[in-house]
Structure 1
Amino acid sequence: MSFLRRKPAAAAAETVAEPVVPAGPVVGKGRPTPKRRDAQGGHRGPVAPPPRTQKEAVQRSKAQGKTMTKDERRAAAAERREKMMRGDDAYVLPRDRGEVRAYVRDVVDTRRNLAGILLPVAVIAFVVLLIPSAIIQLYGPLVMLIAILAAVADGIVFGRQLGRRVREKFPKGDNSGLSTKGRALGFYAFNRACLPRRWRVPRPRLERSATVG
C-alpha cells in the first residue's frame, strides 16, 4: 500500500520537471541582451603605439594586410605613402629621418640649385649624340662639361655652408643616429637638389621664396 501511495507523488514530480513548450513561435533571441561593456569586452585593451622604425611599420602592415580586403590594403598603402610624403619619421626612408635632415630638405627646397640642371643636361647630351653636325659635336660636349663642373662646384660650396648652419642650429645633433657631418649632409642635399621639386620625397614643405631660420 505504501508503494501505491508514492506513485502519484513521483508522477507529479515528473510532470513538474517537464519543460513548458510555448504554443506559438518564439519571438526575440531567447536570452537577455548583454550590456555594451560586456559585448565590447573582447575589443578592450591598450592601443598599440605607432611604429618606431620603418622595419616595424612594414612588419605591422604585413600582419594587418593578412586580414584586410584588397580595398583596405590599397587605402592603407595610400595612407602610408601620404605620411611618407609629409615627412613623418615613422614612414620615411632611414636616410630622411630626423630634424637635421628635415632642415636640410627645407634649405634645399627654398634655394635655386645648379645641381637641378644635371638631369636636363643628361637629356641634352643624349640628343646631341644623335645630331650629325660637326659644330654641335665639337662644342656640345664642352658646354655640358662646363655645366656639370659648375653644378658640382656649387654643390661643394653649398655643402660647406650647410654644414656650418646645421652645427649652429643643432649643436647636439638629433636622435636619428644619422651623420651630421658636412660631407654627409652635402651629399644628401646634392642628391635632393638634382631632382625637380615635384619628384622629391618627402615633398617640399616650403615655397622656393621662403626663408629658413
Structure 2
Amino acid sequence: MRIPWQKSDSEGGSTAIELPKEPAGPKGSAKKNAGASRESAGPRAQGDAPLPKGYTPPKGRPTPKRHEQEIKRGVVRDPNALTPAQQAQRNKELKKSMSPQEWKDYKKRQREQRREATREAQARMDAGDERYMLDRDKGEVRAFVRDWVDSRRFINNWVMPAALVILVLTFAVSYATPQVANAISLISLAFMITIIAEALIIGRGANRAVTQKFPGSGETGFALGMYAFSRATQPRRWRTPKPRVAAGKKVN
C-alpha cells in the first residue's frame, strides 16, 4: 500500500529507510553464535575478573538432606533409620493392615517416641555433644567463648526480664500522670544505652580473649562478638549448651 505523499519508484525513488541487514548465513546461525559467545565468555570472565563477594561456585551435586547429614554424624532419631519418605510409605502400608483403634494406638506410640528422641537430642546438645549441636556452636573457639561469657556477670544477663518489666510498666502507666510516664521513658532509654554500650564491651572482650588463646584462628570479628553478646543476653538456665563453668571462675 502506497501512502499518498510517498513517491513511487518511478517518480523519483523511494523514501523508505533501509535497516542494516544481518550477515547472510544458515538459518538460526546468529542465535547459535550468540549462545556460543556467551558460553565461551562465561569461564573467561570467571577466570580473569575477580569473583564477586559471596560468590559460591556450583557444587555439581544436590544439597544433602538433614537426615543424611545426621546419620553421618552418628545421630539417629529413628530407631529403624528410615528417611521421612520411607517412614511415610511404611505408615501408609501399616494403616491399611490395622483397625482404626490399632492405628490410633500406633500413632500415639509414634508421638511418644518422637518426643523421647527430641528430649534425648536436647540433652545431648546441652551436654556439649557436637554431633547434636548447631554449626554456630561447634569448635573449640566457640566453646571457649561460651565459657568466657558464662564465667562473667553482665547487665545483659537481665535484659529479658528487665524488658518484660519495662513493657508491663509502660502499659500500666499509660493513663498515669505525665511525670510518671516520662520517668519510665527515661529509665527505658538509659537501660537501652547501657545494653548497647555493654554489648560493645562484650564483643571486644571476647575477640581479645580469643586472639590471646587462639592466635591466628581467623574466627575473630563481628560474628564472634555477636555470638558472645547473644549468649550473654540469655538467662543462665536457658543457655544451650549448658554452662560448664561457674560464674566468677577465671577462664584462661
What interval of TM-score do these two structures reach, taking the shorter chain for normalisation? Answer: 0.5 to 0.7
Counterpart contact for 1:163–1:181, Cα < 8 Å? yes
For residue 169 of structure 1, what is the aligned residue in structure 2? 213
**In the superposition, relative to structure 1, how do residues 191 and 122 fare at CA in structure 2: closer, same or farther (>3 Å)?**
same
Task: Determine which structure has more spread, i.e. the larger CA radius of gyration.
Answer: 1
1:185 aligns with 2:185: no
Change (3 A) 1:86 1:53: farther
Matches for 1:108-127 after TM superposition, within 5 Å: 108-127=149-168
Q: Is the 8 A contact 1:158 1:186 kept in 2?
A: yes
- On the 8 A contact 2:75/2:131 being kept in 1, the answer is no
Q: Give me the TM-score of the superposition, normalised by structure 1.
A: 0.64
Q: Does the CA contact (< 8 Å) of 2:145 and 2:228 recur in 1?
A: yes
Which of 1 and 2 has higher RCO (CA within 8 Å, sep 6+)?
1
Counterpart residue type for residue 133 of structure 1: A
How is 1:91-106 mapped onto 2 (pairs within 5 angstroms)? 91-106=132-147
* TM-score (normalizing by structure 2): 0.55
Counterparts of 1:51-200 in structure 2, within 5 Å, are: 54=70, 56=72, 60-62=76-78, 64=81, 70=110, 73-130=114-171, 131=173, 132-134=175-177, 135-173=179-217, 180-200=219-239
The alpha-carbon deviation at position 137 of structure 1 amounts to 0.8
| Cα drift, residue 200 of structure 1 | 0.7
1:206 match: 245
Q: Structure 2 CA distance, aligned partners of 1:88 and 1:199?
A: 17
TM-fit CA distance, 1:168 = 1.5
Between the aligned partners of 2:155 and 2:68, the Cα distance in structure 1 is: 36
**Residues 159, 189 of structure 1: 8 Å contact kept:** yes
Counterparts in 2 of 1:192 and 1:56: CA distance versus 1, 3 Å: same
CA contact (8 A) 2:74 2:131 kept: no
Mind listing any 5+ residue stretches in structure 1 that lack a counterpart?
A: 1-50, 174-178
- Note if contact 2:236-2:243 (Cα within 8 Å) is conserved in structure 1: yes
Please provide the CA RMSD for this pair: 2.9
The offset of 1:99, in angstroms, is 0.6
Question: Counterpart amino acid of 2:234?
Answer: L
Q: Distance in 1 between matches of 2:211 and 2:245?
A: 22
Shift in alpha-carbon separation, 1:163–1:54, aligned structure 2, 3 A: farther
Whole-angstrom distance in 1 between the partners of 2:129 and 2:185: 42
Percent identity over the alignment is: 34
Encode CA deviations 1:119-166: one digit per residue, 9 max, x unaligned: 123212221222232222111111111111111111102211211110
